[in-house]
Structure 1
Amino acid sequence: MTIPNMGLLTIGSPLDWPETKKVALFIREQGIKQFLSLYHKLNSRMKHTLKWGDEIEYTLVRIDPSTHAAQLYLGASELLKLMNEKKSDISDEITWQPEYAEYMIEGVPRIPFGRLLDAFNTVECNMKKRRLDLVANLPEDCIALTISAFPRLGCDDFCYPVAKPTPDSGASRSLFFPDAAITQGHPRFKTLTRNIRERRGAKVAINVPIYRDTCTPQPFIENFPNQNDPTSTSAALPNHVYLDAMGFGMGCSCLQITFQACCIDEARILYDQLATICPIVMALSAATPAIRGYLLDWDCRWGIISASVDDRTEEERGIKPLCNDQFVIPKSRFASVSFYLSPMGAKFNDIPLVYNKDYYNTLIEGGVDHTLALHVAHLFIRDPISVFSESLNCPENEETVEHFETIQSTNWQSMRFKPPPLNSSIGWRVEFRPTELQLTDFENAAFVTFILLLSRTILKFNLNLLIPLSKVDENIATALKRDAVLNEKFYFKQGHLITTDGTPVDLAKSCSKFKFNRTYSTQYDLSDSNCTICRDEQYVNASSSCNSTSSFAEVNPDDSYMLMSVNEIINGTSTFPGLLPLIRHYVQETGGHLETIDLINSYLDLIQKRASGELMTTAKWMRSRIMKHPDYKMIRVYLLK
């Protein structure tokens, strides 16, 4: 199994938007045919071994030797070329890939992780090796950070070599973000930037609530450098930080986790169940308190990146009546999921789904079930925005999914449902996408461990965390807010309904001993050759999901949830067992080497303390550091050292 990057990185000659628009219908129709072919070949594929991995997007920063000022280093393309040519013992364990910005590079494990629980011993180690490999190949005055967003992104001279924005020409036409900061080594990224802007009919408009400090004007209204740009003046909202380019979103970094399911049905279950977790993890991992030098009243990048790739026209946004376009589309391409895929999710799908009825009918006639057909037909309401001329010349009978992936890879949802690639042994997968990137390898490994173990816990105990999808959307909006992890409430499943049979009493009792104590009553030392504990689950993607006929409680969706704090969701209450106690119970039942259990405990302790407020989120820590910085002027950071 390979760990995919931000999109389909085809090499070739990119089409501009007018050319892309002409072939959009062809791309979509061929994409549907390709999905049908893939589905019939692979829908019954079973994979009994769990494989999984993470993706980390590193930010390259130069520290000026004389002033100690920090700037983003525009050298990723050359660095990537160097690292691919220069082989080392470390690089054999890592795959490096280009990312959106010229100051970003993505690193993934070359070989996916596998066996539980022992694999958790290697995650942080692999992350450390990635960082060491990067630093070893960077210039001496540069460092590699795992940071969600550079606080001065978009300020004057924020990058090195210094590059100026070109608001009257180029791909983004931004007042703040120069095209030179877009990756130069692959044409996809500038093509996406230009085509999103041209399809929309205007620059993207991103407005982030500003944090009101003692010197923040009331109202806060900016004067922009280019007075000949009326679009920016009209698009910018009072009391908001205005951003105007794709680079402000895709130029942020994140942590993503992909794992293989045992079958398509299990993948659909995990897609649904983890969709409800996305806002909670977003709040726990919050790491984006500042951009363009301003402190924000948000703590997460999600709303920024969603608006940064919003290519919907005024008709599609409902500003004008439909005339030239087919659909009014409620969300950006980058948004929370809009549809549950598993049978138990059907009654919780309370968001009106926009989908292409012609493609839906084609999929149904081709043998795809109703729910999956709706999901794919929903993805295909979007136009392709990055097409290479060479892809149009493929013979129709050639085995490929390139046109399907052209649409799939530019639907950036909080969860991604991933069919197996053709001509590979990989199974059906899901990708968990909302986690904010943390500053240390330990923290990033902790979030990977938490999410992976939660997925296993859901399958092991047949948990049902589903709530109406509209409430998940509300939770996403809540998770963005400053200090949401401490100050906000989230809709979550009521404790007596968290298992598929609606009777979790025994499970709750088993978990209760873990609520405030991480010590296990039993630990299995697998180094003992006489140990007879059955350990098949450490190798097998074992759940009853593919063959299960068990029913789940018939509960009115509107009666299935209640408001809870992140601390209550993670650590539990008198009526809710808590996600961490459930995970600890799973770990106890699975067993493992004592050293591995201790390491897992240390990771879970971090999540526990973040949820309780004992440890600050990355966003809160960064905010406090910025506010104490001598260059912070109670409204903006003008220089960052």
Structure 2
Amino acid sequence: MNGLEQNGERWLTSDEIAGVWPQIRLNAAREFIGLYHKEKDARKRGLLWGDEIEYILVYLDHENKSVKVSLESEELLEKLKRLDFNNVCPAMWQREYARYMVESVPFVPFSGGIESIRSVEASMANSVAAQNCTSNKRGRYTERIPIFKDVHTMDAIKEDLSHTSYKGKEQEDSQPGTIRLDMCVCGGTCCALQVTLQAADLDEARTLHDQLTPLCPILNKRSGAHRTTKTRNDSVSCYAQPYNSCYNDGPMFTDDEIFGTLVDEDAV
């Protein structure tokens, strides 16, 4: 929805989008169906993947001993694009969500081969050298994801929003046992190391999704990159492989109209 404009002049507001939202969703479902039937039997040359490293730009004021974010990502990107890393695992630099962020990705994806995996560290070492969207997301809707619970999870966890700009009903509407997501900045302004994978085919993609879903939170917490002593994981309502549905933490909610369209077009 971020790309919707009116007469090429301005972004649509959330209220304007609401009037045509059902048709947009239906068109998106039909577009997905077309792509699904086109690619469902395709097989690529093998697993490809790449790391995406996001950076926050900061200004260090040593005299006053303060740190502030720097909004000079555009200027920095121009300089980074002109740098010559002797063509050794060069990185490609690009914009990220906020003006104080940049992102690096490898020029070419990695594979599962030993030589390719050995080049990852060098590539990462070289890497080290939108208000309209936010306002639309803020006004659109709030999603609440159930917290994954085990024997060590407290039942009455409730988010404390008193220190934020939320007031009145939004604070009262914070529901225990859920993670509140109401805009893209819930994750868009957080820098991280991400990995994008391209599987060989649809079946491999589903298997990778289902295998990594429980493994990634465990590996994250076991690594030195995760320093928090208390955290919460969201629940999983839909594993991709049909035979893994028994592992869903809760029921999967569907839109009857969209689901019916997918069934009629043999896309599920």
> Given the two structures, how large is their TM-score scaled by the length of structure 1?
0.34
1:354: Cα distance to partner?
A: 0.5
Residue of structure 2 in register with 1:462 after alignment = none
1:190: Cα distance to partner?
A: 1.9
Q: 1:77 to 1:15 in 2, by over 3 A?
A: farther
Q: 1:68 to 1:350 in 2, by over 3 A?
A: closer
Residue of structure 2 in register with 1:199 after alignment = 140
Residue of structure 1 in register with 2:93 after alignment = 96
Residue of structure 2 in register with 1:63 after alignment = 60
Match of 2:222 among 265, 284, 291: 284
Correspondence 1:355 to 2:242: no
1:352: Cα distance to partner?
A: 0.9
- For the pair shown, the structure with the greater C-alpha radius of gyration is 1
More strand by share: 2
RMSD over equivalenced CA pairs, Å = 3.6
The count of aligned residue pairs is 242
- Determine helix, strand or coil for the equivalent of 2:119: helix
Q: Distance in 1 between matches of 2:170 and 2:47?
A: 49
Match of 1:45 among 39, 42, 46: 42
Q: 1:62 to 1:354 in 2, by over 3 A?
A: same
- Determine helix, strand or coil for the equivalent of 2:204: helix
Q: Distance in 2 between matches of 1:261 and 1:17?
A: 35
Correspondence 1:75 to 2:57: no
The within-5 A match list for 1:529-548 is: none
Q: Percent same amino acid at aligned positions? A: 32
Match of 1:262 among 192, 200, 213: 200
CA contact (8 A) 2:137 2:183 kept: no
Q: 1:360 to 1:37 in 2, by over 3 A?
A: same
- Determine helix, strand or coil for the equivalent of 1:114: coil
1:109: Cα distance to partner?
A: 0.6
List per-residue Cα deviations over 1:92-114 (Å, max 9, x = no partner).
82222222222211111111012
CA contact (8 A) 2:58 2:100 kept: yes
- Determine helix, strand or coil for the equivalent of 1:276: helix
Q: Distance in 1 between matches of 2:105 and 2:245?
A: 35
The one-letter amino acid of 1:341's match is A
CA contact (8 A) 1:94 1:107 kept: yes
The one-letter amino acid of 2:133's match is L
The one-letter amino acid of 1:68's match is K
Q: Distance in 2 between matches of 1:248 and 1:258?
A: 20
1:277: Cα distance to partner?
A: 0.9
List per-residue Cα deviations over 1:164-196 (Å, max 9, x = no partner).
xxxxxxxxxxxxxxxxxxxxxxxxx32332123
Residue of structure 2 in register with 1:3 after alignment = none
- Determine helix, strand or coil for the equivalent of 2:114: coil
Q: 1:231 to 1:101 in 2, by over 3 A?
A: farther
Q: Distance in 1 between matches of 2:92 and 2:113?
A: 23
Residue of structure 1 in register with 2:147 after alignment = none
Q: Distance in 1 between matches of 2:97 and 2:216?
A: 23
Q: Distance in 1 between matches of 2:223 and 2:242?
A: 30
Q: Distance in 2 between matches of 1:51 and 1:31?
A: 27
The within-5 A match list for 1:216-255 is: 230=168, 247=185, 249-255=187-193
Correspondence 1:109 to 2:106: yes
Q: Distance in 1 between matches of 2:50 and 2:125?
A: 15
Q: 1:30 to 1:251 in 2, by over 3 A?
A: same
List per-residue Cα deviations over 1:120-168 (Å, max 9, x = no partner).
2211101111111xxxxxxxxxxxxxxxxxxxxxxxxxxxxxxxxxxxx
1:276: Cα distance to partner?
A: 1.7
Structure 2 residues not aligned, in runs of 5+? 145-159, 176-181
List per-residue Cα deviations over 1:281-313 (Å, max 9, x = no partner).
231246465xxxxxx753x6x77xxxxxxxxxx
CA contact (8 A) 2:49 2:196 kept: yes
1:9: Cα distance to partner?
A: 7.4
